[in-house]
Structure formats: structure tokens, C-alpha cells
Chains A and B, each alone.
Chain A
Amino acid sequence: MINNILSFLIFLPIILSIPILFFKAGKDKLIKTYTIAVTIVVFILSIILYFGFDASKSDFQFVEKVQWVTDFNIFYFLGVDGISLLLILLTTLIFPVTILAVWNSITTRTKEFYFLLLILEGSLIGVFLSLDLILFYVFWELILIPMYFIIGIWGGKNKYYATVKFFLYTMFGSLLMLVAIIWLANYATPMIGKFTTDYTELRKVSIFMPLNIQMWMFIFFGLSFAIKVPMFPFHTWLPDAHTEAPTAGSVILAAVLLKMGTYGLLRFSIGLFPLTFVRFAVPIAILGVIGIIYGALLCIAQKDMKKLVAYSSVSHMGFIVLALAGMTVESVQGGLIQMVNHGLSTGALFLFVGFIYDRRHTREIADYGGLTKIIPIFASLFLVVCLSSIGLPGLNGFVGEFMILAGSFASPNLHNNIYTILGTIGIVLSAVYLLWMYQRVMLGPVENEANRNVPDLNKREIISIIPILLFIVWIGVYPNTFLSKSEASVKRVIENVEAAKKNILNIY
């Protein structure tokens, strides 16, 4: 079993989602218990994977490779390295936490909801583990379908608009990626000697392709990732999708789905086209910085808590883009840990917004005020999460942001440290919008009488949020547990970039 653990991670949730369809319609509690049990089993599997993973190796581990399509040499090819390991852990942690946290939020069509959640989890894990480009593409697209229904069926009042926008935006990018995949495999055919979409084969030859062709492939791949991240100016689908999605949908969207974009950039854009990435590092960094500042400014202007958190994602993901553009070991490591951090903090922020929404059915900041006195446990935990998102030292956000800024400051690929300096403004702004929001919602006198009887967090909600808080503090105090796992893999990526740079000098 340990040899096929990756397949188990992907297909356990997908296959075990089918029995849900046969449960009796009224048995909501049973369905929820079953789903959470499945996700916990998957989480335990990922813990086993974590301990089985050999951090000293930079190669892919637990590799499974079976021929899928013979005449095209397309493989069912899975493998995990330090980069995907952390994202797998994040994914498998977020699912049970979310399900427990939103236990009573979904009241209609529970069966279908939990069925789709499990399908979504399996395909997300599939995205992070696929090492064949077509297999990757299949999982990448598969995610759209459960997400479409989750937003569309259980979403808010503008859900139709949001779903269509989400679907079309993502599809636009991913179809370009499909062109790029086929083109790349075709172009590599004479170099490898056969048509194949095997990532490990392709990355050996892709750096030797003519630069203008690499550039187009890079753009086609990059656009689909940029839409998913989302990078400015492709971010406009995000606030709609986030705001309209049910809490569970928003949490998973923010915590895991957005990471598909940055993971894709790191794995495929940098992995396959390192030189082109170096050439485009500055424009990418500029878009990242615009995202950071623009996203933060939009946050300040929001009146709706959920929208505020949604736009804060644009800002935070900008840091990760800046980190990848920096392309030093520190910045990429920082970017990777920041992916996890963003998943934890923003996921938790959405959960808190969901908790308060379940109680009062409004997300307007102006409807609240002075909640600290009424719901003290909520207030204190919410503060911790806000501070983690801002990047207070001792909590996880600080580690990630510090590494990103330190790593990109001296990056030889950016030629200039102005991007980093501008990026730091984003941290200041994040303190402004989050603390201001906290102040308006939590502090001051209670002005709205309807808020007087709001109940505090119950045991279930506290338990659901504890794992996230645990990791927030853990990463903040001792990030090495996680950084050490990814170090070898990240180093290898950067070494490839440096080697490619040297190579190009030899060729031209």
C-alpha cells in the first residue's frame, strides 16, 4: 500500500464519494460523519506520506507510472516532491477542518454537496501529484465541475453570474494550456525520439527549444496559471466567485484552488521554461507588486467582510508571485511556505466570516461593532488569525513574508530591489485593512441591538479551528519542520534555472 499511497490519496475520496449517493435523503448527520471520516483518513494517509518522505532527495518519490495511451505515450504518472508534499498536507488538512466548521451551514441537498466535496478533494490532490501533462490537465479541468456546482447550487444571490464568470475565465486559460501541452510535446518529439507528455522527459529538452517558441508556450501555460492565482489583471473572477460561494466553497477556493496557479507556475512555468521565466521575471514581479498594492487598496474600500477577505487574497497571492519571480532559494522557499500560510490564514478568515454570517446573516461591516464583549472567544481567536494574515512575528505570515522579501531583495533575476520595497507597502496596508476591519467589527460600543444576543463559538467550531491555529503558531515558531522537507526540491529547481542560464551562454 505504501507504494501506491499516491493513488490512494487521489482515488480514496473519489471512490468513497459514490456511497454518499445511496444514503437516505434525510440522514444528514450520517452523511456528514461519513464524509469527515473519509477526509480524516485521507489526512492520516498524507501524514504517513509526510513521514515516509525522504527530505534529502530532490527527486520525485513514491513514483507510480503506468502507460495510459499507448500511441501518444501518455502516462498515468504520479510522484511527490517537497513542493507538492506541503500542498498535499494543506489540502488534506483543510477539508476535514472545513467540513467540521460548516457542519450546519448546508441544509439543502446535503448529499450532493458532500459528494462533490470529496470529488473535489480527490481531483485537487491529483493536480498536485500528476507528473504527466495530460493527466495534470485532466485533473485541472475536473476541478471546475464540482466547483461550478458548489458555487452554483449553494451560493449567494449573484451565483449564476459568478459561476459563469469563474467557469469561462478558467476554461479560457486552460484551453490555451492544452494547446501549449500538445505543442510542447510535438516540438520535443524529435528531441526525445517519441511523442510523450511525461514531465520529467520534457523538462530535459524544453530548455533547448528556440527562445521565441519557448516564449509562446510559456505565455500559454502562464496565462492559465495567472488566471488561477489570480494575478492582476486576471483577478476579476475571484471576488465574485468568493463572495457568492458558500463558506466551505470560499475556504477551499482560497486555501487550495488558488495554490494550483502558483504551483503550476513553480512546477511547469519555471520547471519547463526556466530561461523564459528569467526573461519575464521583471514583468511578472511588476504584476505581482501591482497585485499586492492594488488588492490591498481595494480591501480598504470594502464594506462587505467576505469581499474584503477575497480581495486580500489578491494581495497575498501577489507576494507569492513576487517570490517566484525572485527565483532564489530563499524567496521560492518563502513563496512555498506562504502558499501554506495563505491557505491557513485566509481559509480561517473565511471560516470566521462564515461563523458570524451564520449567526447574523449579514456580512456588512457597518452592521457590527463592539462584538468583543458579546463573543470573547470568537474575538480572541479572530484576532490571532488576523494578525497571522498581517504577518506578526511569531505567527506564520511573518516567516513567509520575511523570506520572500529577503530572498527577492537581492535576487539577481530582478536586477532591482524596488519591487521588494514596493511589496513591503503591501504589508503595511494589510495591517491597515485587517485591523481597521477588526476595529469596526469587534471593538467600540455595541451600536446594533441585534448583535446583543449573538452566541459565542460553540465547541464544534472551536475544535474545527484549533488545527489551523496550531499550524499557524507552529510555522511561526519553528518553520523548519516544513521548510526542511521542501528545501532539496526547491534547490534543485533553482539549480536548474542557474544551469540553464549557463547553458544559454554556451549555446549562443
Chain B
Amino acid sequence: MLTQQILDGLSKFYPETILSVTILVIVFVELFFKKKTRVSGWIAMAGLAAAMLFTFLQVNIPAQTIFFQMVAVDPFSYFFKVLLILSGFLIVLFTFLSDEIRSSEFKTQEYYALLIALTLGGFLMASSVNLLMMYLALELSSLSSYVLAGYFKKSNRSSEAALKYVIYGGVSSGLMLFGISLIYGICGSLDMFAISAYLSANPVNLITLLIAIFLMLAGFGYKISAVPFHFWTPDVYEGSPMPVTALLSVSSKAAGFAMLIRFFLVAFQNAGHPTITTEGLHQYITLPGLHWPEVIAVIAVATMTLGNVVAIWQDNLKRLLAYSSIAQAGYMLLAFVVVSPQGISAMLTYLAVYLFMNLGAFFAAILISNKYKTENIEEMKGIGYRSPLLCVSMAVFMLSLSGIPMTAGFIGKFYIFSALINNGYIWLAIIGLMNSVVSLYYYIKILKNMFLIRPQGDTGAVSFGAGYSVLLLALAIPTIVLGIFFGPLTKFAEYSVQIFGLK
């Protein structure tokens, strides 16, 4: 019985198993290929590709939990697995193409092992339905990212970043653990479904529960860099190697969102009244008296407003992108306030388009720093004329992040604001859109420097190798195409949340 269930669970755990094996293989292979830095990178890519293949095989698997209700295999986690692998794959390519990493004293290859470990942590964060499992997954991904952030150990900025990250991460995860213990104390279980069943059936002290929720939010908020747990973000983003920053801004954030959505929607829904609407969508009914959507609304508004307002004052492109990614997390949180399948699928859609536009922006930033040796926006004057392809792509990413139509970002925002307005949160939608106007200011500041000001000094054309251009286009073209043909993506997102949260 016991072995049967473990074996059964393993048969649905191939992608994760493959990633674990990949980590071990990389560590092992490093012993033999100390000089050839790329070998582990190729192995990492192969591992990710294999994991992707086995994830695809899970596409039609019915939603279920495995390993004694520790991990769920459902369309929701499937969505995030695809997202995380895609992002991991692109980050490996970024690392190959980044001069910053190539030129550093970067001899050991545990970098790729850690990258895979972070992805694996993300997988488990997206699929765990037990609070303890969730915590372990969070720690796996966090610990890998601490090391990655401090990867240039001789650089002060990088070390400072890692230290800050560790301290903030430690405090947040400690708080979260405290929250988990409170919930365990109240409900007597760590299983999310059991928690939901207990809360719906028994009267509990709502104040204690609310405190527990706040403590849990510290852990989630730190992972998605929501206000007031965002303080680490700019320093870590600035100090880390650029591919790592890109990874943190996308993979780690996506996994954090997955965890947040699952925790709130599974544990705090009113299990006594499961309802399915006529369209076959599950309606979430929150526990009476527990106002967590309002709390999320406040956090969302604070997050995007702070992110956008502070971003205006940034001169460093990486710091600017850091604050912009804080603001973007705010938009996504907005959709969560709705607590409906429409809102969740809007979040998922936004995360998918965010992957392309944000990774694109970071890749463009990597290329700019490769060729022009600068991260300062004021020093990017006129480079639009020197590297047109790079800067036009950057313009696409910036316009998409600000949500101009004909780009993917507009579709993401459109779905989020539709969800909000559909559920009567018109003022929240207006605050969100006003934030978009503010964000436009700093996004077009980059365009202004790149295109409107003539280059000074050296004006020669600076071109890139074919590999760089191909990767740049591979990010820029989806950013535009998803702005016009987005049916499949939104269908995928809707499918992923359709039966989510039901046992």
C-alpha cells in the first residue's frame, strides 16, 4: 500500500525527478570538465528539455495529489512548470551570451546546478498542497538564489546583494514558519484541504488567523517582492549578475505567485459550499469575516505605486527594472483581489507575457552592458542609432511593460482590468491604470535617451553576433505577436484554473 502509493506518485513526478538527476549529473561532471565552462550549461539545457518533454506528457493527467497529499499534479502546476522551464532555458542562454559572466573569474560550474535547483524549487512551490512541503520548496529555491546572487564573490556589490538577500530571506521565511505554526495550532493540520475543511466547519478566533495570514504574507511578499517586503529587491537586482537578476525577476516571482494563489484559494475557501457555475467554473467563496482580499488590495496598490514612483528617480537600468518589476507584481496582485477564476487566469496570462517582456528587457540590458559597458540610462544617449535592432527590441519591451496596445503587455493588463471591472472594483482598476501612466514616464525616458538624443562622441554602428540577434528576436516577436493573437495563451490560462482548488 505504502510502496504502491510512492511508486504511483513517482510515475507522476518525472519532471521533478529529471531535474534532480540533472543537478547531480552537473555536480558530478564538474569534477571532470573543470576548464570547459559550457559543458554543464549544455547538460542543464538537456535536463530542462527532458523535463519539458515529461511535463508535456502530463498535459491531460487528471488533477490529483501524490505522495500522501504533499504535492498536487494539476493543470495549475502544469502551467507554472511550463513557465519555469521556459524561463530557465532562456536564462541558461543569457548566461552563455553575457560578457559579464564570461569575463569574471567564474571557474566553477555549480552555477548551473543552482539554476536547476531554483527551477526545481519553483516546481515544488507551484504544486505543494502541504504547508511543510511548501516551506521546504520555498527554502530550496531561496537558498539557491542566495548563492546565485552572490556569485561574483570578489565583487563588493554582489556580496552585499547576497548578504542582504540572505538576511531578508531568513527573516521572512522565519515569519512565515511562525505563521504556519499558528495555523497548525488552530487547525491541527498542515494539509491545505484539511485546513479549509476545519475552518469551514469550526468557529475559530479570526484575529489569530489574520495574524497567521499576515505572517504567511511575509514569506510570499518577499518572494514576489511586494511592499513592504520589497527592500531587498533593488540592491539584489543591482548587485547580482544580470542573468541571475532576470531569473529572480521572473522564475522566482512566478513560483511565489503560484504558492500565494494556491495557499489562499485552497486553504481559505469555504469548503462547506463548493459551487460550480454553469460555465463549469469553480467559484471561490471566501470564509465569512476573513477579509484577506482587502488586505491583498492594499498591498497591491502600495506595491505598484511605490514601485512606479521610485522607479522614476532611477538612473541605473538594473535598479529601474527592479522597481519596475515591483510595480509589475503589484498589477498581478490586483487581479488576485477578485478571487475568481477570471482573476486568476488574468494573473496567469500576465505572468506569461511578463516572462517574455521582462526577460527581453533584461536581455537587452545585458547586451547594452556587454557592448557599451554601462548600466546608466544617461549614458545610453543615441545608442538607438548605433544598434537599431537592439534598441527597437528594447522599445518593444518597454512599451509592452507599460501596456501600450499591439504588445503583449496590453493584453495582460486588459485581462487584469477586465477581471477587476467585471467584479465591480472599478476604482482599483483606475488606480492601476493611473499607475500605468506614471510608469510610462520612466519607460519612455529610456526610449528618449536611446532614440531622441543624438549620439555623442563615437557614433559608429555597434552590431551583435547572429546568436544575440536571434535570441533578441525570439523574445521581441512573441511580445508583439501575443499582443495580436493571444487566444491560445488565454485559453491555456483559463484551462489551468478551471478546476483549481477542488479536491
With A152-B451, A176-B430 already in contact, the answer to whether A145 and B399 are too (CB < 8 A) is yes
A425 interface residue (CB < 8 Å to B): no
Rounded to whole Å, the gap between the CB of A297 and the closest CB of chain B is 31
Rounded to whole Å, the gap between the CB of A300 and the closest CB of chain B is 33
Complex CA gap A175/B416 in Å reads 14
A178 interface residue (CB < 8 Å to B): yes
> In chain A between 145 and 178, which residues have their CB closer than 8 angstroms to a CB of chain B?
145, 148-149, 152-153, 159-160, 163-164, 167-168, 171-172, 175-176, 178
A102 interface residue (CB < 8 Å to B): no
Q: Across the interface, which residues of A come within 8 angstroms of B406, CB to CB?
A: 138, 141-142
Instruction: Name B487's contact: one of A70, A145, A171 (CB within 8 Å).
Output: A70
With A163-B448, A179-B429, A179-B433 already in contact, the answer to whether A186 and B422 are too (CB < 8 A) is yes
With A142-B406, A178-B433, A182-B418 already in contact, the answer to whether A160 and B440 are too (CB < 8 A) is no
With A69-B487, A167-B444, A171-B440 already in contact, the answer to whether A153 and B434 are too (CB < 8 A) is no
Instruction: Write 10 A-B pairs (CB below 8 A) sorted by A numbering.
Output: A138-B405, A141-B405, A145-B404, A148-B444, A168-B440, A175-B437, A176-B430, A182-B418, A182-B421, A183-B421
Complex CA gap A167/B486 in Å reads 27
B426 interface residue (CB < 8 Å to A): yes
A103 interface residue (CB < 8 Å to B): no
Q: Across the interface, which residues of B come within 8 angstroms of A149, CB to CB?
A: 451-452
Rounded to whole Å, the gap between the CB of B94 and the closest CB of chain A is 28
With A152-B448, A152-B451, A175-B433 already in contact, the answer to whether A164 and B490 are too (CB < 8 A) is no
Instruction: Name B426's contact: one of A164, A171, A183 (CB within 8 Å).
Output: A183
| 10 A-B pairs with least C-beta separation | A175-B433, A152-B452, A138-B405, A141-B405, A182-B421, A172-B437, A183-B421, A186-B422, A182-B418, A171-B437
B28 interface residue (CB < 8 Å to A): no
Rounded to whole Å, the gap between the CB of A203 and the closest CB of chain B is 19
Complex CA gap A171/B434 in Å reads 9
Rounded to whole Å, the gap between the CB of B416 and the closest CB of chain A is 10
Complex CA gap A216/B424 in Å reads 14
Q: Which residue of B lies closest to A108 (CB)?
A: B454
A294 interface residue (CB < 8 Å to B): no
B436 interface residue (CB < 8 Å to A): yes
Complex CA gap A153/B455 in Å reads 12
B441 interface residue (CB < 8 Å to A): yes
B417 touches A179 (CB 8 A): yes
12 further contact pairs, Cβ within 8 A, besides A149-B452, A178-B433: A70-B487, A71-B490, A141-B406, A142-B404, A149-B451, A160-B448, A160-B452, A164-B441, A167-B444, A178-B414, A179-B421, A179-B430
A50 interface residue (CB < 8 Å to B): no
Complex CA gap A134/B441 in Å reads 24
Rounded to whole Å, the gap between the CB of A198 and the closest CB of chain B is 16
Rounded to whole Å, the gap between the CB of A63 and the closest CB of chain B is 22
Q: Across the interface, which residues of B come within 8 angstroms of A182, CB to CB?
A: 414, 417-418, 421-422, 429
Binding site for B on A (CB under 8 A): 69-72, 134, 137-138, 141-142, 144-145, 148-149, 152-153, 159-160, 163-164, 167-168, 171-172, 175-176, 178-179, 182-183, 186, 216
Q: Across the interface, which residues of A come within 8 angstroms of B426, CB to CB?
A: 179, 183, 216
Instruction: Name B405's contact: one of A71, A142, A216 (CB within 8 Å).
Output: A142
Rounded to whole Å, the gap between the CB of B281 and the closest CB of chain A is 12
A153 touches B448 (CB 8 A): no
Complex CA gap A289/B328 in Å reads 43
Complex CA gap A70/B491 in Å reads 10
Q: Across the interface, which residues of B come within 8 angstroms of A137, CB to CB?
A: 405
> In chain B between 430 and 456, which residues have their CB closer than 8 angstroms to a CB of chain A?
430, 433-434, 436-437, 440-441, 444, 447-448, 451-452
Q: Which residue of B lies closest to A155 (CB)?
A: B452
Complex CA gap A60/B399 in Å reads 34
Complex CA gap A160/B404 in Å reads 20
Q: Which residue of A lies closest to B403 (CB)?
A: A175
Complex CA gap A145/B396 in Å reads 11
Complex CA gap A167/B402 in Å reads 12
With A70-B487, A145-B404, A179-B426 already in contact, the answer to whether A153 and B444 are too (CB < 8 A) is no
Rounded to whole Å, the gap between the CB of B6 and the closest CB of chain A is 41
> In chain B between 385 and 415, which residues have their CB closer than 8 angstroms to a CB of chain A?
399, 404-406, 414
Complex CA gap A134/B418 in Å reads 12
B440 touches A167 (CB 8 A): yes
Rounded to whole Å, the gap between the CB of B447 and the closest CB of chain A is 8
With A138-B406, A152-B448 already in contact, the answer to whether A178 and B417 are too (CB < 8 A) is yes
Complex CA gap A134/B486 in Å reads 14
B490 touches A186 (CB 8 A): no
Q: Across the interface, which residues of B come within 8 angstroms of A71, CB to CB?
A: 487, 490-491, 494
Complex CA gap A137/B411 in Å reads 13
A175 touches B404 (CB 8 A): no
Complex CA gap A172/B441 in Å reads 11
A176 touches B448 (CB 8 A): no
Q: Across the interface, which residues of B come within 8 angstroms of A176, CB to CB?
A: 430, 433
Complex CA gap A144/B433 in Å reads 17
Rounded to whole Å, the gap between the CB of A197 and the closest CB of chain B is 11
Complex CA gap A307/B426 in Å reads 39
> In chain B between 455 and 495, which residues have their CB closer than 8 angstroms to a CB of chain A?
486-487, 490-491, 494
Complex CA gap A141/B483 in Å reads 13
Complex CA gap A318/B176 in Å reads 60
Complex CA gap A167/B436 in Å reads 12
Complex CA gap A182/B415 in Å reads 10
Q: Across the interface, which residues of A come within 8 angstroms of B422, CB to CB?
A: 182, 186
Complex CA gap A160/B69 in Å reads 59
Rounded to whole Å, the gap between the CB of B453 and the closest CB of chain A is 8
Complex CA gap A216/B430 in Å reads 12
Complex CA gap A282/B55 in Å reads 63
Complex CA gap A406/B208 in Å reads 72
Q: Which residue of B lies closest to A217 (CB)?
A: B426
Complex CA gap A93/B421 in Å reads 41
Counting chain B CB atoms within 10 Å of each CB, the highest count among A69, A70, A142, A175 belongs to: A175
Complex CA gap A72/B430 in Å reads 21
Complex CA gap A159/B448 in Å reads 10
Q: Across the interface, which residues of B come within 8 angstroms of A168, CB to CB?
A: 437, 440-441
Q: Which residue of A lies closest to B484 (CB)?
A: A68
Rounded to whole Å, the gap between the CB of B241 and the closest CB of chain A is 33
Q: Across the interface, which residues of A come within 8 angstroms of B437, CB to CB?
A: 168, 171-172, 175
Complex CA gap A178/B437 in Å reads 13
Rounded to whole Å, the gap between the CB of A360 and the closest CB of chain B is 25
B421 touches A141 (CB 8 A): no
Q: Across the interface, which residues of A come within 8 angstroms of B447, CB to CB?
A: 148
Q: Across the interface, which residues of A come within 8 angstroms of B452, CB to CB?
A: 149, 152-153, 159-160, 163
Complex CA gap A159/B444 in Å reads 14
Q: Across the interface, which residues of A come within 8 angstroms of B418, CB to CB?
A: 72, 182, 186
Rounded to whole Å, the gap between the CB of B194 and the closest CB of chain A is 35
Q: Across the interface, which residues of B come within 8 angstroms of A159, CB to CB?
A: 452
Q: Across the interface, which residues of A come within 8 angstroms of B441, CB to CB?
A: 164, 168
B404 touches A144 (CB 8 A): yes
Q: Across the interface, which residues of B come within 8 angstroms of A171, CB to CB?
A: 436-437, 440
Q: Across the interface, which residues of B come within 8 angstroms of A167, CB to CB?
A: 440, 444
With A160-B448, A167-B444, A171-B440 already in contact, the answer to whether A141 and B417 are too (CB < 8 A) is no
Q: Across the interface, which residues of B come within 8 angstroms of A160, CB to CB?
A: 448, 452
Rounded to whole Å, the gap between the CB of B309 and the closest CB of chain A is 14
Complex CA gap A419/B487 in Å reads 51
Complex CA gap A72/B452 in Å reads 38
Q: Which residue of B lies closest to A69 (CB)?
A: B487
Complex CA gap A160/B378 in Å reads 14
Q: Across the interface, which residues of B come within 8 angstroms of A145, CB to CB?
A: 399, 404
